[in-house]
Amino acid sequence: MPPRMLPEPTPETRHFWDGCRDGELRLQRCTACAESYFPPRPFCPKCGSRDVEVYKASGTGVLWSYVINQRPRPDMGTEPYAIAVVKLAEGPTMMTNIVDCPQTPEALQLDMPLKVAFAKQSDEITLPLFAPAGA
Amino acid sequence: MKPKSVAVVGAAETTKMGKIPDVSVIGLHADAALNAMADAGLKPSDIDGVATAGISPVELAHYLGITPTYADGTSVGGCSFMLHVRHAAAAINAGLATTILITHGESGRSRVGSSGFGRAPSSLMGQFEMPYGVAGPPTMFTIPVLRYLKTYGLKPEDMAPVATIQREWAAKNPRASFKDPLSVDDVMNADMIAWPFTKLMCCLVTDGGGALILTSAERAKDFPQKPVYVLGTGESVETPMVSQMEDFTSSKAFRVSGKKAFETAGIGHADIDHLMIYDAFAHLPLYGLEDLGFCKPGEAAGFIRERNTAPPKDGKGGGRLPLNTNGGGLSYMHSGMYGMYALQESVRQMRGIAPAQVDGAKISVCHGVGGMFAASGTIIFSNDAP
Ligand SMILES: [Zn+2]
């Protein structure tokens, strides 16, 4: 199996990937309008202010939507897997995979509570996957 | 005639469609362009504006021997050609060019001279979507739909009539890739691609192309074909990442683009005789019907199931809003950027020469999507001079 396709951080996203490596899900919010947002950027997409801060998010959310890919990408193994979107407690949505859960429509119910489960891929990159909150 | 009106005076698809292993991408652009020029009675030296996506307008102009005073390389996915039509109308009115050629060509199936899917790992999609196993449109465009279905109490099989009814339209079209009748069971029992989407809820993958030529409505009456006037236009973009759509049950780009097109055309929904909604996947006509205002949120699946968009069948008349009358991306053809084929069908319907012609159709809405709900363009055509 080829190595998994991994992100290449940029200066604007470095804090997010450093956070994942250190076991923290980091979001940004605007100090002017209090909006939390994702993906990372050095200004608020709602009001344009550059006065933003990085903070440690709760790492919780709900399963917002997904598909189950039946034709796995070569670097993703051989079994069907869900490509999911989690709606974080802080508001933003984020693409992810769901772990510790069968990859079936029966097991993957929309709005089920999820919590972040960090999955180390390399010294630099840890992916923020999500697991059922009760698991 | 309303001042500053613009019309389509040349329109054609590639000579062959479907599987064309002996023509490269740029060759498909050129074949469609030459066919459209023949349709309009023009030579390359008569064209002074070019627009295309997939390849650059520089490649197109040089390949065809055109020296333009206007070039548009807007490339926002499959609806790029709707945006090209919109920009061409503005450019003609601003005097940037008089006669603008818009082309599409794609070797989606045979992959002759074409590039693959993928984004730089440092791009936002490369960082925040690609690592989770997305593998092209079937695993990305489809992601919002479970939220849509749950919100409106619908099930995956409620999407199936989109495919079965478009197959009925395709059956009337000699150039359609698939013409055999299709049942809801056929759709639901087809190979699963990305649950809940089966293969028959996903578009075809074919080779082909198309081209349009636009000029001012004043000049249009001197051309060999019946002019097809541009009544109104809209465009918008939302996000390059489907996971960042503001609302998974509705496309903001669709709503903004559609509203602008209706406003500039100065018409209402009751005026529409014919509709094209880009259908890369079976849920897109549902989002389109709702976001363009033809149906209330959550009601499009029922609207289609009740045959409001269907052709006549078993002695019963057709629906009041014929939709995707070429068979759509699900049954007609889909090379990758389908918007051009939707525009071609609208033009054929307005010229009165479509294989599944809607009798007396005077106004056609052609609505496109680009990327995975990333972008949108809407063109409203009429065969009556505005
Ligand atoms: Zn703000």
B138 within some domain: no
Distances in Å between the alpha carbon of B207 and those of A32, B19, B76, B233? Answer: 51, 5, 20, 28
Interface test with chain A among B152, B193, B195, by most A beta carbons within 10 Å: B195
- The tokens for A48 are 């344009």
pLDDT of B129: 96
> Residue A61: what are its φ and ψ, rounded to 5°?
180, -165
Cβ contacts of B123 within 8 Å, gap of 6 or more:
none
B212 within some domain: yes
Share of chain B above pLDDT 90, in %: 93
pLDDT of B117: 60
Pairing state of beta strands A26-30 and A52-56?
antiparallel
Task: Name the residue type at position B134.
Answer: V
pTM for the structure as a whole: 0.96
The mean per-residue pLDDT over the stretch B274-293 comes to 98
pLDDT of B118: 65
B41 within some domain: yes
- B327 three-class SS: coil
Chain A hits for B116, Cβ within 8 Å: none
Burial bucket for residue A42 (CB in 10 Å: 0-12, 13-18, 19+): exposed
The mean per-residue pLDDT over the stretch B304-324 comes to 95
A–B CB contacts, 8 A cutoff, strictly below? 108
The verdict on a CB contact (< 8 Å) between A69 and B194 is: yes
Please say whether the beta carbons of B187 and B200 come within 8 A.
yes
B76 within some domain: yes
Q: What is the domain-level CATH number for residue B282? A: 3.40.47.10
pLDDT of B116: 59
Of B45, B12, B47, nearest to B31 by C-alpha is B12
Task: Name the residue type at position B50.
Answer: V
- Cβ neighbours, 10 Å, residue B11: 28
pLDDT of B119: 75
Chain B hits for A81, Cβ within 8 Å: 133
Nearest C-alpha in A relative to B197: A67
Please say whether the beta carbons of A29 and A39 come within 8 A.
no
A37 contacts chain B (CB < 8 A): no
A63 contacts chain B (CB < 8 A): no
> Residue A75: what are its φ and ψ, rounded to 5°?
-85, 5
pLDDT of B110: 87
Chain A hits for B128, Cβ within 8 Å: 7, 38-39, 94-95
Our CA-based measurement puts residue A96 at a distance from the nearest CA of chain B, in whole angstroms, of 6
pLDDT at position A134 over 90: no
pLDDT of B81: 98
The verdict on a CB contact (< 8 Å) between A67 and B195 is: yes
The verdict on a CB contact (< 8 Å) between B196 and A10 is: no
Chain A hits for B126, Cβ within 8 Å: 7-8
Our CA-based measurement puts residue A1 at a distance from the nearest CA of chain B, in whole angstroms, of 13
H or E element: which one contains B188? helix B184-189
* Ligand 1 centroid distance, CA of A36 (Å): 8
Chain A hits for B130, Cβ within 8 Å: 5, 7
Pick from A6, A17, A95: CB nearest B129: A95
pLDDT band at B65 (very low <50, low <70, confident <90, very high): very high
Residues paired with B214 in a beta bridge: B8, B100
The mean per-residue pLDDT over the stretch B248-269 comes to 98
Per residue in B104-156, pLDDT tens? Answer: 999 988 888 766 566 789 999 999 999 999 998 999 999 999 999 999 999 99
Cβ contacts of B275 within 8 Å, gap of 6 or more:
B294, B309, B321, B322, B323, B324, B364, B365, B366, B367
ipTM of the complex in this document = 0.95
Domain count, chain B: 1
B237 within some domain: yes
The mean per-residue pLDDT over the stretch A65-86 comes to 96
pLDDT of B335: 87
Interface test with chain A among B154, B243, B250, B281, by most A beta carbons within 10 Å: B243
Residues spanned by the domain of B286: 6-113+204-382
Share of chain B above pLDDT 70, in %: 98
State the DSSP string of B254-273.
HHHHHHHHHHHHT--GGG--
Dihedral of the alpha carbons of B147, B151, B152, B158, in degrees to the nearest 10: 20
* Ligand 1 centroid distance, CA of A29 (Å): 8
> Residue B87: what are its φ and ψ, rounded to 5°?
-70, -35
Separation CA B275–CA B298 (nearest Å): 19
Our CA-based measurement puts residue A48 at a distance from the nearest CA of chain B, in whole angstroms, of 17
Separation CA B231–CA A28 (nearest Å): 44
Pick from B129, B133, B243: CB nearest A81: B133
**Which residues crowd ion ligand 1, with CB under 5 Å?**
A 30, 32-33, 35, 44, 46-47, 49
B310 within some domain: yes
> Residue A66: what are its φ and ψ, rounded to 5°?
-170, 165
A127 contacts chain B (CB < 8 A): yes
Per residue in B217-245, pLDDT tens? Answer: 999 999 999 999 999 999 999 999 999 99
Please say whether the dihedral angle defined by the alpha carbons of residues A103, A106, A112 and A113, taken in this order, is positive or negative. Answer: negative
Nearest C-alpha in B relative to A104: B195
Separation CA B24–CA B114 (nearest Å): 8
* Mean of the per-residue pLDDT values of chain A: 96
Q: How far apart are the first and last CA of chain B?
A: 6
The mean per-residue pLDDT over the stretch B176-195 comes to 97
Separation CA B261–CA B59 (nearest Å): 31
Architecture per CATH, A14-132: Beta Barrel (2.40)
Separation CA B29–CA A29 (nearest Å): 47
B135 within some domain: no
